[in-house]
Amino acid sequence: MERPQRRLVEGPHHLYLRVSRARGRHFLRIAILGTGEVGSHLASFLVGVGHEVKIGSRTAENASATEWARSKGPRASHGTFADAAAFGEVVFNCTAGAISLEAVRMAGAENLKGKILIDVSNPLDFSKGMPPTLTICNTDSVGEQLQRAFPEAKVVKALNTMRHEIMTNPSLVPGSHDVFICGNDVAAKAEVTRILKDWFGWREVVDLGDITGSRGLEMILPLWLRLFRVYNRAPFNFKVAR
Ligand X SMILES: NC(=O)c1ccc[n+]([C@@H]2O[C@H](COP(=O)([O-])OP(=O)(O)OC[C@H]3O[C@@H](n4cnc5c(N)ncnc54)[C@H](OP(=O)(O)O)[C@@H]3O)[C@@H](O)[C@H]2O)c1
Distance of closest approach, residue 225 Cβ to ligand X, in angstroms: 10
Cα atoms in the Cβ-side hemisphere of radius 13 Å centred on 110: 3
- CB of 15 or CB of 134, closer to ligand X: 134
Note whether 177 binds ligand X by CB under 6 A. Answer: no
Distance of closest approach, residue 202 Cβ to ligand X, in angstroms: 15
3-state secondary structure of 52: strand
- CB of 8 or CB of 63, closer to ligand X: 63
Position of minimal CB gap to ligand X = 36
Note whether 102 binds ligand X by CB under 6 A. Answer: yes
Contact 147, 109 (CB under 8 A): no
Determine the Cα–Cα distance for residues 94 and 31; give it in Å rounded to an integer.
10
Distance of closest approach, residue 30 Cβ to ligand X, in angstroms: 15
Please give the backbone phi and psi of residue 218, each rounded to the nearest 5 degrees, phi first: -85, -35
Number of amino acids touching ligand X (CB under 6 A): 23
Query: Looking only at residues 40 through 99 of this chain, which bind ligand X when binding is defined by CB under 6 A?
Result: 57-58, 62, 94-97, 99
The closest of 114, 53, 59 to 82, measured between CA atoms, is: 59
- CB of 103 or CB of 188, closer to ligand X: 103
Determine the Cα–Cα distance for residues 199 and 194; give it in Å rounded to an integer.
8
> How big is the CA angle at 228 (ends 227 and 231), to the nearest 5 degrees?
75
Residue window 12-51: x/- pattern of binding to ligand X, with contact defined by CB under 6 A? ----------------------xxxxxx------------
Distance of closest approach, residue 81 Cβ to ligand X, in angstroms: 7
- CB of 34 or CB of 50, closer to ligand X: 34
Within 185-220, residue ranges assigned H as helices are 186-194, 214-219
Query: Which residues in 60-203 belong to E strands, given as ranges?
Result: 76-80, 90-93, 116-119, 124-125, 133-134, 154-158, 178-183
- CB of 98 or CB of 153, closer to ligand X: 98
Tell me which of 13, 163, 177, 194 binds ligand X, using CB under 6 A.
Answer: 163
Query: Looking only at residues 113 through 132 of this chain, which bind ligand X when binding is defined by CB under 6 A?
Result: 120-122, 124
Determine the Cα–Cα distance for residues 154 and 162; give it in Å rounded to an integer.
22
Contacting positions for ligand X (CB under 6 A): 34-39, 57-58, 62, 94-97, 99, 102-103, 120-122, 124, 160, 163-164
